Amino acid sequence: MKALVSVKRAVDYNVRIQVKPDGSGVVTEGVKHSMNPFDEIAMEEAVRLKEKGKITEIIAITVGGAKNEETLRSALAFGADRAIHIKEEGEIQPLTAAKALAAAFKKEGAQVFFAGKQAIDDDANQTGQMVASLLDLPQATFASKVELDGNKATVTREVDAGLETLEVDLPAVITADLRLNEPRYLKLPDIMKAKKKPIDVQSFSSLGVTPGAGLKTTKTSAPPKRSKGIVVKTVDELVAALKGKGLL
């Protein structure tokens, strides 16, 4: 069983995000990037399923510029067998990316499309869903547990009321939630080995995808600065302060 795992290059979670002075976006030049943490979880899950013998081949895939190769190398160090780089510089529309991923999934004849539930840069939470829709496949998003059995996947999701279990026929799209697993530490020998694994470079045109217009960012602004706190001396003062704010 082949699995395609989508990995996105995003600004590292440790970076203090700064908005560009002209409001056109956030500063990404010279800022540390790494694999979107939710995609790491998806990657880890695929590798575990391969270790259990449920998956035979893992293909990591990314859409983006030349620097995305680093992200693919990390995926290969995790345990992906090979990678596909849909190499496109500049801003990429989410729907165009989803179309390209869907085309690659189809071309590979994979059974499972794994991705993180969302990327921590724009938190759009839509790629998995769009891929499923474009390919008319069942989807199980926000997975906290995944079991593959024959041509079915059983996926547990954490919902407000508790746990929901879905059974989906394969091929299917599965997106990973935070508590699905704890990604492993990449070991140096695996990091070294990853350099020798093949990366197949594709493009929108090679996959038959025409980039379309879509979202336009009109303005980016920083959240309001936190105002200075006050120090209270007694519980009474605290209660009075909370009441004053209408919080009690």
Partner 1 sequence: MTYASPFYDKDHEEFRAQARRFVEKEISPNIEAWETAGSIPRELHQKAAEAGMLQVGFPERCGGIEVPDLFYGVVLTEELARSGSGGVIAGLMSHGIALPPICHVGSPELQARYARPVLEGRKIAALAITEPGGGSDVANLKTRAERDGDHYVVNGSKTFITSGMRADYLTCAVRTGGAGMGGVSLVVIEGDTPGLSRTPLDKMGWRCSDTATLYFDNCRVPVANLVGRENQGFMAIMLNFNQERIMLAAQAYAFAKVCYDEAMDYARSRETFGKALIRNQVIRHKLVDMRMRLEAVKANLDLVTWRVSNRQIPIAEVCMLKNFACTSLEWIANEAMQVFGGAGYLRGAKVERIYRETKVLTIGGGSLEIMKDLAAKQLGM
Q: Answer yes or no whether residue 34 interacts with partner 1 by CB under 8 A.
A: yes
Among 52, 152, 187, 243, binds partner 1 (CB under 8 A): 187
Q: Does 226 bind partner 1 (CB under 8 A)?
A: no
Question: CB of 154: closest distance to partner 1 in angstroms?
Answer: 29
Distance CA 140, CA 147 (A): 12
Selection from 158, 109, 174, 98 nearest residue 134 by Cα: 98
Among 16, 22, 29, 32, binds partner 1 (CB under 8 A): 32
Name 33's bridge partners. 11
Q: Taking CB under 8 A as the rule, does residue 36 contact partner 1?
A: no
Shortest Cβ 39–partner 1 spacing (Å): 15
Six token digits for residue 78? 């995790």
Of the two residues 74 and 126, which places its CB atom closer to partner 1 in the complex?
74
3-state helix, strand, coil in the chain (%, to 5): 30, 25, 45
Write the interaction track for partner 1 spanning residues 59-88; mark x where CB under 8 A is met and - where it is not.
-----------x--xx--x-----------
Among 186, 197, 200, 211, binds partner 1 (CB under 8 A): 186
Q: Which of 63, 118, 124 is nearest to 91 (CA)?
A: 63
Neighbours of 168 (CB within 10 A): 18
Nearer to partner 1, 188 or 230 (CB): 188
188 binds partner 1 (CB under 8 A): yes
- Tell me how long the chain is: 248
* Cα separation, 6 vs 12, whole angstroms: 17
Q: Where do contacts with partner 1 occur on this chain (CB under 8 A)?
A: 32, 34, 70, 73-74, 77, 185-189, 191-192
